[in-house]
Amino acid sequence: MRRDTRRTRADLLANVVVTKPTSVKLPIGSAPYDQLMYVDPDTRRSVRRPIRPDELGAVAFESFPPIRRFPAYKGKRSHEGSYWFSGTGSHVRFESHFESIALMLLDFSQQVQRVSSNPFWLLWPKGLTPARHAPDFFARTHNGSVVLVDVHPAALISEQIAEQHLRTRRVCEALGWSYHEFTAVEPVVQHNVSLLAGYSRPRSAPPPAIATIIRSHVPTPSAGGITVADLLDAAHDATGLSHHSISTAVYHMLWRRQLHTNLQRPLTSDAKVWR
């Protein structure tokens, strides 16, 4: 008689070992002034520096891995993963869906040369609350300037988090960095940019000759622009390419800011596009 080797869901779950997140000893400020703590990529040693532009300005934090772990455990509510950042062609870790949206919008800005996630700790003097903070993203722009980004929904910002962000802003001011709190995004903007992000990969880019033809049919904003539908028809007639190929090219060019549209309105076939 043939043995039934099928296993029920209860059987499978019975063999699953659920592990709880292990406690990690967090750093504490050991000086009467603010410090920045990071792991030197060459020596692998922990380094603490006072907040001074001459000591920290040349450190390439944009290439550092996260200094803290993103633990996975049963019952965890946040969604974590890696976002493919088209501006750098590399993946950046995020710890929540809201952080992935912030990364997508940062990527869409086309201003960032390199970005890292949680590359260092900011340590406040002993006895202060909060005692530490690992900013969510460190971005180096194409002109060499720095933008430090903290991500937190506005409705969930407590007094402690607000104080944490205020101290982080002061550190940025001392270092000559910009500081941005990402707390909200309009749903229509999020939807539009999410749509365009699907065409961010190089494979969606049109050949230069096709891009030139597409741009030739797109007027300036002062001329009123052209609807997406009319642009697809015009480019189709001029190139002989399918509407699918043309729409892929147009959406990629919108993502790359080679073409423009009003993101405050739904990106439909009657949306206006301009150069």
71 and 149 housed in the same domain: yes
Q: Give the tens place of pLDDT for each residue, 164-209.
A: 999 999 999 999 999 999 999 999 999 999 999 999 999 999 999 9
pLDDT given for residue 166 in this prediction: 96
Domain that holds residue 202: 187-274
123 and 203 housed in the same domain: no
Task: pLDDT band for 23, please (50, 70, 90 cuts).
Answer: low
152 and 71 housed in the same domain: yes
d(CA 233, CA 215): 13
Instruction: State which of 133, 161, 182 marks the end of a domain.
Output: 182
Rounded to the nearest 10 degrees, what angle do helices 97-108 and 187-197 cross at?
Answer: 70
176 and 208 housed in the same domain: no
Please count the structural domains in the chain: 2
